[in-house]
Amino acid sequence: MAKVELDVLLEELVLREGSDLHLRFGEPPIIRVTGELEKMEGPKLNDQDLHDLICGLMTPIQKAAFERNLELDMAYEISGIARFRVNCFKYMGHLGAVMRIIPLKIMTIEEWGFPEVMVKIAELPRGLVLVTGPTGSGKSTTLASMIEHINEKTSRHIITIEDPIEFLHRDKKSIIEQREIGIDTLSYAEALRRIIRQNPDIILVGEMRDIETIAQTITAAETGHLVFSTLHTIDAVQTIDRIIDVFPPSQQQQIRLQLSTTLQAVITETLLRRRDGAGRVAAFEIMVCTPAIRSAIREAKTPQIYTSIQTGSKLGMIQMDHYLRNLYFQGVVEYEEALAHCNNPDEFEKKE
C-alpha cells in the first residue's frame, strides 16, 4: 500500500467521524467510531504493507529514532482535511500504528458548550491547571480550546511543549511558539529548565510523565506563570496523590507545600456515547482550589477534597457523577452509559 492509499483510509475516518485508525498485522485497517472498533473493507495487512504505510510517513531522523527506541510519536497532516497524532510501535515482531484525528479547526470553550468556569480558569494570571482523564478522553482538545480562548482575548506570550504537536495554533492577540520533543527540544524537562529565559506568560506542558518533568512544571508555576498540563488520572484527589507519590518520602511534604500554593484547578473529563448516536459528549469534574482545599493538600488530608467539590457549586465546581446525572436527565446519554462512567455506582443508582 502506498502513502496515497493511507490518505484514503484517513479521509474515510474523517468522513465517518471516527477518532482513531489502527494498523496491525493480519487484519484490515480498523477504525474507532463513537468508541466502538470497526473493521474496514479491504485485504488484511501484511508486513510489507505495514512497512510501506508506517515507515513511509517518517523522515530519516524519525526512522532512526524509531529503530533506536522501537517507539515513535509523530504528527501527520492531510492538507485541508485534518492532522493526525501517530504512535508507531512493534509487537511480536510486527509493525503497528494508531493514528488519532486532530481537527484543523480549534473550537472555543463556548462552541463546545464546556462549563462556564473553564473560561475563568483560562483567564487566571498564574498557577498550575491540570486536565486529567484516561487516554482518548479529550484532554488535548480541552487544552487547545483554552489556549485558543486566551489567544483570542488577551495579549500573551504562550509556549507549548508537545510530543508531538497536535492542534496548530495561529497567532491572534497572543504570540504562540509550539515546540516538539525530538525536533525542537530534547525533552520536556530540558525545555522547562530554559523556558523562563524565553519570557513566557503561559506554558503548556503536553504531559507530566516523569518526576523531573513534574518538578520542573511545578517550579514554572511557582515563578508566576500560568502553566497547563495533563495526567492520566480519574479525579482531582487521585491527581494530587499521584503527583505527590511520584516523589521519595523525604520530598513529599515539600511537594505538598508547593502544590498547595501553585495548584489552581483540576479538570477531569471522560467521553460518553450520545443517546442519538451523533458522536460523543464530554463529562467533567472540576475542582477549583479554595483555602480549604489548599489546607487539605498541605496537611495530607486529600479525601476531604471530595466534600469541598460537592459544596463548591457557587465557584463552578462539579462532581463527575453529578455531571453524568445531568447528561442522563437531559436525555443526552443512556442511563447505562452514565452509570458505566461514574465514580460511585452505588450512590448513582440510589439517586436515579
Strand partners, 127: 226
- In the chain, CATH 3.40.50.300 covers 109-350
* Residues composing the chain: 352
Cα dihedral 287→291→296→297 (10° resolution): 70
Render pLDDT for 203-230 as a digit per residue (tens, 0 to 9): 999 999 999 999 999 999 999 999 999 9
The phi-psi region of residue 85 (left if phi > 0; otherwise alpha if psi is between -120 and 50; otherwise beta) is: beta
Amino acid at 272: L
Strand partners, 33: 36
pLDDT at 3: 54
pLDDT at 22: 97
Q: In which element (H, E) is residue 320 found?
A: helix 320-329
pLDDT at 352: 57
- In the chain, CATH 3.30.450.90 covers 3-102
- How far apart CA 82 and CA 84 sit, in angstroms, is 7
Which residues, including other chains, have CB under 8 Å from residue 220's CB and lie 6 or more apart? Answer: 192, 195, 196, 203, 205, 227
- How far apart CA 176 and CA 149 sit, in angstroms, is 13
Closest CA to 226 of 265, 275, 170, 281: 265
Architecture of domain 109-350: 3-Layer(aba) Sandwich (3.40)
Say if domain 3-102 classifies as CATH 3.30.450.90. yes
Mean pLDDT by 10 residues, the chain (352 residues): 76 93 96 92 92 92 93 93 95 96 93 96 97 93 97 97 94 97 92 94 96 96 96 95 97 97 98 90 97 97 96 96 95 95 84 62
The phi-psi region of residue 26 (left if phi > 0; otherwise alpha if psi is between -120 and 50; otherwise beta) is: left
Find out whether 25 and 50 touch, Cβ atoms under 8 Å. yes
Strand partners, 176: 158
CA-based torsion, 43, 44, 45, 48: positive or negative:
negative
**Burial grade of 170 (CB within 10 A; 0-12, 13-18, 19 or more):** exposed
* E strand segments, the chain: 20-23, 30-33, 36-39, 71-78, 82-91, 94-102, 127-132, 157-162, 175-180, 202-205, 226-231, 263-273, 280-288
pLDDT at 290: 97
pLDDT at 350: 72
